[in-house]
Structure 1
């Protein structure tokens, strides 16, 4: 039996591939790895781009209608429109008319009745538009025409509810001013009768002393100030009565509408009313003191002049209340607290971009995978067949 032939020297470890061997391995496998890589890269890019769905955004621009005719206290301005009106825009009384419109079912995001309300809330956004007095209402959808259509429908529903609420508030304010107007009209009539009676008995006698003239001027100034304070107090009482009463809105839905411009104002108005009442009492006390002083100096003839001063005060309050009522009616014809500047139009470009970078990454991985596989298989075969 022949003995096994012993190797003449130690078995050499396989050497690492040199650049020349790597090039040879690549040339050996490129005929099938490159076409395969191109095919896989194309499939990966196509599959990635197929996941892209363009989103179009319809945008409407609105502005707070802060008119110059409003005196302080008739209707408050809105310093931050987007922040204060966001709650109203997302309220069901705005969403429900939109969802009830059959034409809205043509929008892809609202085609399913079970998810329409959730999609409407998720795709709607409200943001400031350059200043606190302007806001933009945006709605996103996969169809450009549907995005503009739904956005305009939401804005129309919101403006309809807001205008109805503003008109109800104005009517309530007019209603609560009517008793004050009636009271001061009666007061003016009573004081006119008193002046006529005193004028008949005293023949309008007047004094010319400097001291009495100064006192009379003081009485007139205090009377003017008292007139202004009582006007403010009357309007503030009307507003407080309005805030404490239930809304007399034309629709039951308006009762749930939050009055965003009046948030956190009740306490401040009550404090203002208390301070104003104290100031009125102080001025009245001073007014009575000056009246008594003037009466002592001038005798019975002062009663006539003071009656005229009281008549002027009452007439001034009545005129201011009538001016306030006329202003409210004028502002009612002016429109609501918010107005539409620009409706939404169909956008030309989507807001999201195609996933080109992700498609390029996946295509590169798919292209180089066959090349690496061919290189590894060729290297393994080269190592296995390498002579020991």
Structure 2
């Protein structure tokens, strides 16, 4: 099946008991057994639930993977991957990361003796320099949050495999519509399903997909034992959201391109980060591994201090000042004090997350309304 068909049908069949076209919400914690162990695969809903199982199969299909696991948040999914490690292990990761990922790496798992190397991964060969016998995992985002750094997944995968390292790709910003890291050599793909996959700002959820059976068994054990699993209602909402993922992503990309082109020449914009521009670092890599360039854009405001940045970010009428991204509505975010507030100032500023940087999640509203809102807010 092609992407749009998978988004609507993968993992889902009419309910055999009623013929319902939509997967039912199996709002149950436990399941009757004819005899101990005779459970048709369902025992207790922390471990598995029919609504969630349909979602997991759909997520795996969208990423061209064999197995899927849905978690109660993106951080729950990230946490499960980190639990594959033990004290003394080392991780290579990017120097521009979602603030929540940086926080769990440095404030939680570093305390358990795991060492993290935060590197500029624009040159994949840097893995050869930092990998040693303790290195077990490479964790990348691409495009990164919020400066849209583009990492060559295929090249990183070759270096990781040469060193026998597990490669995990956070594919949240691209979504499976724009990019499929499994096809490029990733071992695990992580999503904050809250974002583009859910798409309606009404669910918090995460996901992991993979092909390797043994890796799936290990992650499923962590998933079941630690319990960061979502309920059936949230799973139903995401299944419903996925059915329009291909349509929404087309609109995000179209609006994102027009907003980026408008902002690139705006007199009050100093820098703009959007991988669709030919002068964006690693644009050619983005063009190779992505189908389009998405609706995420970051800008720095020319000559603006923190107070002026706050004034502008609070002055929008269509864009909403809020955390998160990837919903149908347009959002604006101040990473330094919001999504990346847990990263020390000197660390975030070193990669461009300055006090005058704003991140835009361009929604699917009428483009003329979005451009007019930008004009008035930046005036």
Please give the TM-score of this superposition, normalised by the length of structure 1: 0.22
Q: Which has the larger radius of gyration?
A: 1
Query: Using CA pairs below 8 Å that are at least 6 residues apart, which structure has the higher relative contact order?
Result: 1
Which structure is higher in strand share? 2
Which structure is higher in helix share? 1
